[in-house]
């Protein structure tokens, strides 16, 4: 088995996010504003991707361990899963027009 370059993994994850996000945007927004909505969503995602290494580095410097960052990421992942579940159940209960 050979190693996969980090650039390839990062490129695949960013590309995968964009591919999965487009159908959801088209389902909820008119085609005339898709570009604007995509830009606003991508801005926040890109900001988070840029600042996360600094935040995790700061936590490691403060506590001398990766445990606080792993706990924080676990809490954030759990909150995201709960929010996604609530949003999914809310859209499933909306009657069709």
pLDDT digits (tens, 9 = 90+) for 13-66: 555 666 667 777 777 778 888 788 878 888 888 898 899 899 999 999 999 999
Number of domains in the chain: 1
Q: Tell whether 97 is covered by a domain.
A: no
The residue among 4 and 53 whose pLDDT is bigger is 53
Please answer whether residues 12 and 4 qualify as being in contact, where contact means their C-beta atoms are separated by less than 8 angstroms: no
Q: Tell whether 66 is covered by a domain.
A: yes
DSSP per-residue string spanning 65-80: SSHHHHHHHHHHHHHH
Helices 67-92, 34-63: inter-axial angle, 10-degree rounding: 150
pLDDT at 13: 58
Q: Tell whether 15 is covered by a domain.
A: yes
Q: Tell whether 1 is covered by a domain.
A: no
pTM of the model: 0.54
Q: Give the domain extent around 69.
A: 6-92
User: Given the structure tokens 């579940």, which residue do they identify?
Assistant: 85
Give 75's pLDDT tier (boundaries 50, 70, 90). very high
């Amino acid at each position: 088995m050979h190693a996969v370059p980090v650039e390839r993994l990062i490129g695949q994850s960013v590309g995968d996010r964009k591919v999965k996000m487009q159908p959801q945007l088209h389902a909820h927004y008119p085609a005339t504003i898709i570009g604007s909505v995509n830009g606003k969503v991508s801005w926040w995602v890109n900001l988070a991707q840029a600042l996360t290494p600094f935040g995790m580095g700061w936590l490691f410097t403060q506590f001398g361990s990766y445990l606080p960052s792993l706990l924080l990421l676990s809490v954030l992942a759990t909150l995201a899963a709960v929010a996604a579940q609530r949003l999914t159940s809310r859209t499933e209960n909306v009657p069709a027009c």
